[in-house]
Every structure is written in structure tokens, then in C-alpha cells.
Amino acid sequence: MALKLVIGNKNYSSWSMRPWLALRANNIAFDEVFIPLYTGAADKARILDFTHSGKVPALIDGDITIWDSLSIIEYVAERFPETRLWPEDRARRAHARSISAEMHSGFAALRNECGMNLHRPIRTIALSADAQANIARIQQIWIECRERFAKLGPFLFGAFGGADAMFAPVVHRFRTYAIPVAPEAQGYMDTMLSLPAFQEWTRAGLAETLLIDRFETA
């Protein structure tokens, strides 16, 4: 039975983007179930039919349901070990998981102030000190990985992996809010921007016409 990935609007749903990329960049077949977000009780009920969390993304693999972006990436890594979503080396794997968890649980100011919105015209906004600290820390994470692992390939730990999937939406946030970055961080963003799966998601998001008012503010 085909895997099913339940996702929200590609234009806005940064959490959906992460596991979608982990699957697509590795050519793993799955059916996509699109549920438009924040359109009312009916759509919420559709999400609840798949997962009691009431949130997307969720992955359905036969009678197994996995919800939450990072858990889905962990599941895909286990189910399809050939994807090497986590580095083989234990120290690098610990590093990749640490920065992925840091992304998953942190950077609230950046997330609140610079929501992912692919079709938003590119322009700067005034950012809080907390958001600026988030931006500095994310660049530090990327640059440290590039300095240590550039010889293995162009992504954070060489080939595209789970940590890259976790940080992919930040690339859109930095781009859309015209956030100045260091050249090494820009190099990583360019690598992500040229990933075919990233481009496919972006094209589909830009083609969406549904607007969510609460995300059209900044």
C-alpha cells in the first residue's frame, strides 16, 4: 500500500514541506493528501480523520500513522535506510539530530515574525532582537556544518539529508524577507534553491491561489 503524506498549503505550511522534501528528494513514492489549512471546521475534521493531533503533516503507512515533521523524518530514515537521511558516522548523526531538534523546538521569534509565504513580495521588515538572534544562530549552524563537512558534499552533512529538510523552509524565509546573510550561508541557500525537489515544492506553492489572511500580514 502506498504511503500517504497529509500536508497543508504548500505556500504556507513549512512543517509540511520538511517531510515532503525528505521523501521527494529521495524519490520515495507517496500519495499526497492536501488539506487546505484554516478554512473551517470541515477541513479540521479532515485532518482529525488522519491524526488526532489535528495538525499536518502526518504520514500514513498502512496501519501506522506518524505525525509531527521530525518524527516522520525519523520514520522515513528507518523505513528506507538507503536514503541515509542521517549521517552514518555517529558523531555526525548526533550533530545532525541536534540541529534538527534545535530547529524543531526553537527559533520561535523568526517563525512568528517571518512566516513562510512563498508568494509574498520580497521585502524587509523590522525584526525584533530575538528574531535577529535566531537568524545569527541559524547562520552559525549552517556555517559550522559547511566548514566541517564541505568536503563530503554541498549540503549540511554532504548529501541532502534530514537536517537539510528541517532547515529548508528557513531558506524561503531568509529569501522572502530579504534577510542579509554571510556568503557561506548564501552558498548553502543557493544549494538548497537548486535542489529539484525544493523547486518542485516552490512551484506548486506559488501556483496556489488560496490566501490565509492570518499569514498575509507581514
Binding site for ligand GSH (CB under 6 A): 8, 13-16, 37, 44, 54-57, 68-70
Per-residue exposure over 42-60, b if at least 16 CB sit within 10 Å of its own CB, e if not:
eeeebbeebbeeebbbbbb
Nearer to ligand GSH, 79 or 104 (CB): 104
Considering the complex, what minimum distance in angstroms separates the CB of residue 5 from ligand GSH? 12
Nearer to ligand GSH, 57 or 161 (CB): 57
The C-alpha atoms of residue 209 and residue 190 are separated, in whole angstroms, by: 26
Alpha helices in the chain (DSSP H): 14-24, 41-50, 69-79, 90-105, 108-113, 129-149, 162-176, 183-193, 196-207
Nearer to ligand GSH, 61 or 184 (CB): 61
The C-alpha atoms of residue 76 and residue 71 are separated, in whole angstroms, by: 9
Nearer to ligand GSH, 108 or 136 (CB): 108
Considering the complex, what minimum distance in angstroms separates the CB of residue 69 from ligand GSH? 4
- 193 CB-near residues (< 8 Å, 6+ apart): 171, 175, 199
Considering the complex, what minimum distance in angstroms separates the CB of residue 1 from ligand GSH? 23
Per-residue exposure over 120-154, b if at least 16 CB sit within 10 Å of its own CB, e if not:
beeeeeebeeebeebbeebbebbbebbeebeeeeb
Considering the complex, what minimum distance in angstroms separates the CB of residue 91 from ligand GSH? 25
Give the DSSP H/E element, type plus range, for residue 10: none
Considering the complex, what minimum distance in angstroms separates the CB of residue 116 from ligand GSH? 8
Considering the complex, what minimum distance in angstroms separates the CB of residue 183 from ligand GSH? 30
Nearer to ligand GSH, 73 or 145 (CB): 73
Nearer to ligand GSH, 71 or 186 (CB): 71
